[in-house]
A and B are shown apart, each in its own frame.
Chain A
Amino acid sequence: GAGVSQSPRYKVAKRGQDVALRCDPISGHVSLFWYQQALGQGPEFLTYFQNEAQLDKSGLPSDRFFAERPEGSVSTLKIQRTQQEDSAVYLCASSLWGAGNTIYFGEGSWLTVV
């Protein structure tokens, strides 16, 4: 597609459930970023991939959060045993290479944990 595509757009999960959020970056983009955005706040960095390699996962808030990009294109962010504080918009972004090139964001996946 022409832009970064994320699914699902909206997800309601019961506390304790596992969720998987998918990101389809712009074709040919080497770099892929995941951010978490709480309501009314700026996005907070979670993790960064260069092709299939996860080069930085310093922003993942706990070991319940896991991200992968096995073939260097589509990425999945998995949250295990969801908690209410995980409720946020999860933004995926991609760029040709690194943060020095223009980063294009998807519309986000809105997660509500009840």
Chain B
Amino acid sequence: TQLLEQSPQFLSIQEGENLTVYCNSSSVFSSLQWYRQEPGEGPVLLVTVVTGGEVKKLKRLTFQFGDARKDSSLHITAAQTGDTGLYLCAGRLGANNLFFGTGTRLTVIP
């Protein structure tokens, strides 16, 4: 059972389009992370958000943590083919527990 639900599960868009991925839970997290995973590799950390309402930008990627620290979103502007991958949110409960979301598989078509 996974605590975090992501939507959409699959997303296929044209290069240059914008997109948003959502990560929702009924649990309150002390922090939330976003990872990207390429086929055959482990997840790689993109960003950590800690404060409710926090917004972080990483080039064309914008991450937001919900005010109540239960949900988050990832927005990509002008998607590129290199953005293709599996995007995972992960919430931290306590000092040692990191729980991953169900994942969003993004395909950017040239």
- A residues sitting closer than 8 Å to B (CB atoms) are 4, 31, 33, 35, 40-45, 48, 50, 55-56, 91, 93, 98-100, 102-108
Judge whether B103 and A42 touch: CB under 8 Å: yes
Q: A42-B88, A43-B88, A99-B92 are in contact. Are A35 and B100 (CB under 8 A)?
A: yes
A93-B42, A107-B41, A107-B42 as given contacts; A45 in contact with B98, CB under 8 Å: yes
Main secondary structure of the interface of B (DSSP, over half): strand
Please, could you name 7 A-B residue pairs with CB atoms under 8 Å apart, sorted by A?
Answer: A35-B100, A41-B103, A43-B88, A45-B99, A99-B94, A99-B98, A105-B43
- Distance (whole angstroms) from the CB of B105 to the closest CB of chain A: 7
User: What range describes how many residues of B lie at the interface?
Assistant: 20 to 34
Q: Give B contacts to A, CB under 8 Å.
A: 2, 4, 6, 30-31, 40-45, 48, 88, 90, 92, 94-103, 105
Q: How far is the CA of A40 from the CA of B59 in the complex (A)?
A: 27
Minimal Cβ-Cβ distance residue in A for B95: A98
The 9 A-B residue pairs whose C-beta atoms are closest, nearest first, are A105-B42, A42-B100, A99-B98, A42-B103, A98-B95, A43-B100, A99-B92, A48-B96, A42-B101
